[in-house]
Structure 1
Amino acid sequence: MQLLSTSHTRWEELTKSELEDAQFHVQEKPHIKEKKSIERCILTKNVDGLRQNAINNPYGLLVSSLRATAWPLMLNVQHELPQDSDSLKPHLEEGQVKLDVDRSYLPSDKHHLLQNVIVKLLRNHPYLHYYQGFHDVVSVLLVTLDYDKSLTYDIAETLCLYHLRDFMLADMTGTTDLLPLVVDLVKVADKRFGDILELIPPFYSLASIITMFSHDLDVQDVVVLWDFAFAMGNVTQALIYLYAVLILINKQQIIAQVVEMSGCQIDTSVTSTQTLSRQFVLENTDAFHFTLSNLTKCFGTNDSSKQDLLARWKNETQYLINVVKLSDLPTFKDIFPGSAIKQPSSSNIDYTVRLHTKYLVARKRNLSVVKNCKKLLHKNSNNLKLLLKVSVTVGILSLVIGRCLEHNQYVGLPFHHRTWRDMCNTIWRF
């Protein structure tokens, strides 16, 4: 079985003109009205109008030339002249950056632009840590912005400081703490399916979220999703919602593929979440993980156009955003206070790093206390069992003696022995 199979164009092979043709060519006349609306919003700096166009139009902001002006407005990009990166201390992770750039899908003569933008960003913000996949994000920016290095840097910097900073901390806890929110959202929409996903570690969503879907999707689809995410204001939250809805849209295909991979003789035409046992899920966690982590690699269906699927994806995400707040989800409280998902307006990466360090120290201390308590309980389990047995025995004896004395039925103990009777009745009342 192919999951959401469709032909997959390598976005990196498209030039800017080819990209705009792919998005706009034969549909140019039907989109004249939308194009004029976007241009009018750009001219008047109507950010709310741009956001409405990005959300409601099937093709988002339509073409790269419009995005080059609209994205900075929606993201509130502030152009500031950074220091010359050549005069700054090299970042420790520049070696990994070069390895990823060398493997980039961009034309080889554009690799130096990609390298320069990322290195400049890291040197100007040394607290940031590069992660593999960030080069895909910057690559999409370069392609969409016609390889304008200055504009690419400004937007990439804004994304890093305000939206992607959780992914650029010293360790992955800031990122992995966000992933359970995907399961929480699925559970709100489909409790049974959410219960199934709770049995599977949520790392299947990691790659798509930290790359903003740029690693596997075609660039013409990625930029439409970015139009939507940028319009939502909090890009990190939008990515979480988008992945949850992607799972919900593909629920039946996910179940069918996992059943097929398991080798079980189950009729996939009638298979539902109700028919999958907990044992089946636990025995096939690898199949679930493989299927869930590949949702974006084969985007589209044979019987649906990618435009229709993107429109559905965006519409259902918008609906979920309207009815469910991330702050109401059970795992939201586990996210550290400086997270971009909680404080998107803060760009003070130094403050964020310090806050995250304190958060990690406190969490490590709490985990240590819990671990020590478990050890203590295990060590004294025999004593606790003995104490429990004695307590139960005393309680039963007190019950029997108290009841018998109350009715003067205890053989060999006269009724006038008030001391014993009062003592036992006291124990019984206690």
Structure 2
Amino acid sequence: MQMASEAESKHVVDIDAAADHDTPATAHAKARILDACEQMDIDALKTLAVSPGGLLSDALRSQSWPILLGFDPEGTGDTTEKPPSWRDMERHKDEDQVKLDVDRSFVYYPNDNSQAELDLKRTELSDLITEVLRRQPYLCYFQGYHDICQVFLLVLPPAARAPAVARLSALRIRDFMLPTLNPALSQLRLIPSILDAVDPELCAHLSRNEPYFALSDTLTMFAHNVQRYSDIARLFDVLLAREQVFGLYVFTQIVLVRRAELFGHDEPDMLHFTLSKLPQDLDLEVVIRDAARLFAEHPPESLRAWRSISSASALKTTRDVRACAGQSLEDGHRFFDRQVRELEWADRQKEVLQTVWTNRGVILTIAVGVGAFYLRRTSMWSVIVPWWPTRLGGS
């Protein structure tokens, strides 16, 4: 508890210390963010997160992000009945992979920590991920999840980290934590739909590639490839304030910004390589502004590929950010189970179709034989049989 109170105090000090150096515009924006947090006003935070500068500082983010995710950051430790310690819970099946990924974490930031400080952060990151997975054992870990979690670890005080990541996992990035990545791949097909609506020529140029080039960025909320901490924190402001599908519009807008560069490549492999690496000189404020305009002009419901997205997908259950903030972890589990059942049903259908296609000759022979057997027992067959040789020129 002492660690949590020290971290929380640090955020309060950050706000007070920065106030002495604010411009009038920044001071006004800060006051609006603090007021929105006090009122738990998600609509106001949504507007502020998209506006230039976003939520301004980690001190303000530590108050805003929990609200956007649907819990009170001041009440994370106030429950009268303490849950059992996650350390006493059964190991999650993916913990070995978690360890491998955590050992590779904090590559780009923070870049001013000693080795001992980085080792401590990796221990905290491992504990954070393990706690979330053990408390929600139905979730499947994916490589890149640690990139998301490390941003939450750096921004939020300790008491808020696990609740925030748990709600993010169950309610917002749930599609990526299913037993298969098929729903994640289905999401990627919205990118060509958006591109086709706004720039058919560029869409046609890229159509030789499946949009798998976007998988790393969409899976990790861009945290795997963005190298500056200030940039990823800024991106998280808007990704948490907007519906889950908005990240696909951000990626599409980045593709549009790179239009001239992409037309300089004709080989599919080179296009894939180029698109899978984010340029580090992006003007994020312009990208966010234009992605919001792109979303307004071509909303998800107007896209052909939207119809193939499951109604239980996080893309559809987060369309109203306020409604999503009101959902419970149990709601997320129910959506997860619905998606699993849909995936199992799709697999069974695929197996049946594959079996039918593989045995199509045998099935056709049986069908003809059965048809002939029943037709012979009808009066119509007794007319057709004598008539058929005559039509063929027989006697």
Decide whether aligned partners of structure 1 residues 188 and 100 sit closer, same or farther in structure 2, where only a CA change above 3 A counts: same
Decide whether aligned partners of structure 1 residues 108 and 44 sit closer, same or farther in structure 2, where only a CA change above 3 A counts: same
Instruction: Find 1:126's aligned residue among 125, 137, 145.
Output: 137
Is the Cα–Cα contact under 8 Å of residues 141 and 152 in structure 1 kept in the other structure?
Answer: yes
Alignment of 1:27-426 (within 5 A): 28-29=22-23, 30-56=25-51, 58-77=52-71, 79=76, 82-105=83-106, 107-145=118-156, 148-217=157-226, 218-232=228-242, 234=243, 236-256=244-264, 258=265, 281=266, 284-294=267-277, 296=278, 298-300=279-281, 309-344=283-318, 345=324, 347=329, 348-371=331-354, 374-375=357-358
> Which residue identity is paired with 2:208?
L
Is the Cα–Cα contact under 8 Å of residues 117 and 149 in structure 1 kept in the other structure?
Answer: no
Deviations 1:263-282 (A, max 9, x none): xxxxxxxxxxxxxxxxxx5x
Distance 1:365 1:150 in 2: 43
> Which residue identity is paired with 1:343?
T
Instruction: Quote how far apart the aligned CAs of 1:25 are.
Output: 11
Instruction: Quote how far apart the aligned CAs of 1:250 are.
Output: 1.1
Distance 1:375 1:239 in 2: 40
Decide whether aligned partners of structure 1 residues 110 and 367 sit closer, same or farther in structure 2, where only a CA change above 3 A counts: same
> Which residue identity is paired with 2:32?
S
Is the Cα–Cα contact under 8 Å of residues 178 and 340 in structure 2 kept in the other structure?
Answer: no
SS at match of 2:90: coil
Is the Cα–Cα contact under 8 Å of residues 250 and 287 in structure 2 kept in the other structure?
Answer: yes
Distance 1:66 1:212 in 2: 20
Distance 2:361 2:166 in 1: 51
Instruction: Quote how far apart the aligned CAs of 1:221 are.
Output: 0.8
Is the Cα–Cα contact under 8 Å of residues 193 and 303 in structure 2 kept in the other structure?
Answer: yes
Distance 1:27 1:299 in 2: 28
Is the Cα–Cα contact under 8 Å of residues 75 and 158 in structure 1 kept in the other structure?
Answer: yes
Deviations 1:180-212 (A, max 9, x none): 111111111111211233321111101111111
Decide whether aligned partners of structure 1 residues 223 and 25 sit closer, same or farther in structure 2, where only a CA change above 3 A counts: farther
Distance 1:372 1:198 in 2: 31
Distance 2:314 2:271 in 1: 29
Deviations 1:236-276 (A, max 9, x none): 211111111111111112222x2xxxxxxxxxxxxxxxxxx
Distance 2:36 2:19 in 1: 23
Larger radius of gyration: 1
Distance 2:36 2:340 in 1: 42
After superposition, the CA RMSD in angstroms is: 2.8
Is the Cα–Cα contact under 8 Å of residues 245 and 316 in structure 1 kept in the other structure?
Answer: yes
Count, aligned residues? 324
Distance 1:190 1:373 in 2: 40
Distance 2:270 2:363 in 1: 41
Deviations 1:349-391 (A, max 9, x none): 443343223222332243345445655778999xxxxxxxxxx
Corresponding position of 1:411: none
Distance 1:69 1:222 in 2: 17
Instruction: Quote how far apart the aligned CAs of 1:39 are.
Output: 2.1
Instruction: Quote how far apart the aligned CAs of 1:333 are.
Output: 2.4
Is the Cα–Cα contact under 8 Å of residues 113 and 149 in structure 1 kept in the other structure?
Answer: no
Q: Which runs of 5+ in 2 are unaligned?
A: 1-9, 111-117, 319-323, 365-395
Distance 1:214 1:323 in 2: 27
Decide whether aligned partners of structure 1 residues 373 and 159 sit closer, same or farther in structure 2, where only a CA change above 3 A counts: same
Q: Percent identity?
A: 25
> Which residue identity is paired with 1:134?
Y
Is the Cα–Cα contact under 8 Å of residues 129 and 169 in structure 1 kept in the other structure?
Answer: yes
Distance 1:63 1:153 in 2: 21
Distance 1:71 1:350 in 2: 22
SS at match of 1:338: coil
Is the Cα–Cα contact under 8 Å of residues 253 and 287 in structure 2 kept in the other structure?
Answer: yes
TM-score, normalised relative to structure 1:
0.69
